[in-house]
């Protein structure tokens, strides 16, 4: 029998993502999937909005009763409304380079793929990409790059971040750069922190070590422990907003839901702050990748349950869904927990300035939601959501435990709501189509009137007037 014990405080991946504990949790969930008394207890706890444990979440994932499923959705919906209101934060990915030394079998950028055109953006090309993104209205980017120590070393990433922040085209500005690069050292995380990044994002892909090692046969990423301990090093390096995620469909989704939550519990236990975001990508077709090769692919129904259970388990963690998802499936998960969406995305290197199709040979994955950012903004408004381009927190130093303490006391909404209205107003003035401008204007009028604090309402109204007069970048 293995001597390795589960230890949420440990710095060793095999102890905080403990395979035995995950398997025991899945067994416990299977045994209790019809245990009415236990399920009622978990639902009561869930309603309080303080989160539930990985074991409790696993039971909710396993429940078969449709009536209970509806109650899970209902609780997730109410928690989301309470914490996030109807705001959805918008962002776009920016791919810098698709050179990669790893062998991830589900990604067309893997080193052995000889059919894909390889490319790394120069600083001038990055400038063009950023101008194209600013001209769409984006303020928040997720920077993505393959792992290549020679072609995209940390210095290249840091220089690119500087370039991105330096560009001010017309009224545009990228105000927050989140970074999704390969696991690295504490020193490099400190350099990223000093470069002013928002969130450091790294997907675990799958928490199941055996599956992980099969799916990552070569390259530095094949080291499961080094990859899994990356968020600990990021925190030690001074980055306190980290974003975790699993690529659903690579392996058993139940295992990965439990893994995500144990990862969150570990970061909370060791550093006092859980992940800032959880991403829930699903496996998609791409050059050289056929989803049929992945029998664990999750259906829309299961996907919705996963999002709802994560929302209940970690109510204060942002949840991100990308344009990998179709309009329909995005609608299903917005309702029960997702709080951030990408829009108008290109998943190929240089895709924005050149306006290439998402099925281009150089794309990392095919996009299901091909709509423009303006179409997505219009659609969200129609559904009753406020698309928000807010980036205020990290610029105001509200990160890590400072952010979480405000969020957990239910106070962050006092900032989010007016910030959403003001950044949407900027979008409407500078980038929206006439129809979206009208719809957005109505939403802003309606919601400004109901801001509870008179002082915040008055300042917001003044700022909204100033935005119409051409001033920019107000925030709480
Ligand atoms: Fe490289 Fe990332 Fe693709 Fe793996 S998933 S092959 S590390 S770009
Ligand atoms: Fe996010 Fe902070 Fe803006 Fe709210 S105020 S939307 S938490 S950046």
Extract the runs of DSSP E, i.e. beta strands, from 40-97: 87-97
Q: Which CATH number fits domain 86-370: 3.30.2010.10, 3.20.20.70, 3.30.365.10, 3.40.47.10?
A: 3.20.20.70
260 CB near ligand 2 (under 6 Å): no
Determine whether the shortest distance from the Cβ of 227 to ligand 1 is under 6 A.
Answer: no
Counting ligands in written order, which one lies closest to the CA of residue 144? 1
- CA end-to-end span of the chain: 55
Q: 415 C-alpha vs ligand 2 centroid, how far in Å?
A: 7
Q: Which two tokens stand for residue 90?
A: 């918008």
Q: In whole angstroms, what separates CA 385 from the centre of its chain? A: 18
Which ligand sits nearest to residue 363's alpha carbon?
1
Taking only the tens of pLDDT, the chain with its 476 residues reads: 568 999 999 999 999 999 999 999 999 999 999 999 999 999 999 999 999 999 999 999 999 999 999 999 999 999 999 998 999 999 999 999 999 999 999 999 999 999 999 999 999 999 999 999 999 999 999 999 999 999 999 999 999 999 999 999 999 999 999 999 999 999 999 999 999 999 999 999 999 999 999 999 999 999 999 999 999 999 999 999 999 999 999 999 999 999 999 999 999 999 999 999 999 999 877 777 777 888 898 999 999 999 999 999 999 999 999 998 999 999 999 999 999 999 999 999 999 999 876 566 778 888 899 999 999 999 999 999 999 999 999 899 999 999 888 888 878 888 999 999 999 999 999 999 999 999 999 999 999 999 999 999 999 999 999 999 999 999 99
Q: Is the CB of 181 under 6 A from ligand 1?
A: no
User: Which of the listed residues 90, 392, 394 should we mutate to test ligand 2's pocket, taking the one with most ligand atoms within 8 A of CB?
Assistant: 392
The ligand 2 atom nearest the CA atom of 89: 6
Beta strands in 264-369 (DSSP E): 277-279, 318-321, 340-342
Q: Would you state the structure tokens that stand for residue 186, as one six-digit string?
A: 């504490």
- Which helix (H) or strand (E) is 388 found in, with range? strand 386-388
H/E stretch holding 154: helix 154-166
Q: What is the pLDDT of residue 2?
A: 67
The whole-angstrom separation of Cα 155 and Cα 161 is 10
Domain boundaries, the chain: 13-81, 86-370, 407-468
**DSSP 8-class letter at 176:** E
Q: Encoding tokens for residue 101?
A: 């030394």
Which ligand places an atom closest to the C-alpha of 414? 2
Atom of ligand 2 nearest to the CA of 390: 3
- By the 10 Å C-beta count (0-12 exposed, 13-18 middle, 19+ buried), 219 is classed as middle
Q: Is 390 touching ligand 2 by the criterion CB < 6 Å?
A: yes
């Amino acid at each position: 029998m293995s001597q390795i014990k589960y230890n949420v405080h440990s710095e060793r991946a095999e102890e905080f993502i403990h395979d035995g504990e995950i398997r025991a949790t899945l067994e416990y969930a299977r045994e209790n999937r019809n245990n009415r008394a236990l399920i009622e207890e978990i639902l009561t706890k869930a309603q309080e909005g303080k989160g539930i444990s990985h074991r409790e979440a696993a039971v909710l994932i396993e429940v078969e009763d449709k009536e209970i499923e509806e109650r899970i959705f209902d609780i997730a919906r109410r928690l989301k409304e309470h914490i996030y209101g109807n705001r959805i934060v918008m962002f776009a990915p920016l791919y810098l380079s698709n050179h990669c030394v790893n062998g991830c079998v589900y990604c067309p950028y893997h080193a052995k793929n000889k059919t894909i055109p390889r490319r790394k953006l120069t600083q001038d090309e990055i400038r063009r990409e950023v101008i194209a993104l600013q001209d769409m209205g984006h303020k928040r980017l997720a920077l993505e790059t393959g792992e290549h120590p020679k072609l995209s070393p940390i210095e290249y990433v840091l220089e690119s971040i500087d370039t991105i922040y330096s560009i001010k085209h017309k009224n545009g500005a990228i105000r927050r750069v989140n970074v999704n690069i390969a696991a690295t050292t504490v020193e490099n995380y400190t350099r990223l922190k000093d470069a002013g990044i928002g969130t450091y994002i790294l997907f675990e892909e799958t928490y199941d070590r055996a599956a992980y090692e099969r799916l990552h046969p070569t390259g530095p990423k094949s080291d499961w422990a080094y990859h899994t301990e990356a968020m600990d090093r990021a925190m030690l390096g001074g980055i306190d907003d980290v974003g975790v995620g699993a690529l659903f469909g690579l392996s058993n989704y139940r295992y990965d839901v439990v893994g995500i939550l144990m990862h969150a519990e570990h970061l909370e236990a060791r550093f006092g702050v859980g992940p800032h975001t959880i991403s829930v990508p699903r496996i998609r077709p791409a050059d050289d990748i056929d989803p049929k090769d992945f029998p664990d692919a999750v259906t829309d129904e299961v996907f919705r349950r996963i999002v709802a259970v994560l929302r209940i388990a970690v109510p204060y963690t942002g949840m991100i869904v990308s344009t990998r998802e179709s309009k329909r499936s995005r609608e299903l998960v917005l309702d029960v927990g997702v709080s951030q969406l990408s829009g108008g995305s290109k998943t190929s290197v240089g895709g924005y300035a050149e306006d290439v199709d998402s099925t281009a040979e150089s794309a990392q994955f095919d996009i299901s939601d091909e709509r423009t950012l303006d179409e997505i903004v219009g659609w969200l408004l129609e559904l009753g959501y406020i698309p928000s381009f807010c980036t205020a927190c990290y610029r105001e130093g509200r990160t890590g435990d400072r952010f979480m303490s405000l969020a957990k006391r239910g106070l962050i909404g006092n900032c989010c709501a007016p910030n959403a209205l003001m950044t949407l107003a900027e979008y409407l003035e500078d980038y929206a189509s006439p129809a979206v401008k009208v719809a957005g204007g109505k939403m802003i009028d309606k919601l400004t009137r109901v801001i509870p604090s008179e002082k915040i309402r008055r300042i917001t109204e003044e700022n909204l007037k100033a935005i119409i007069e051409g001033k920019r970048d107000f925030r709480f």
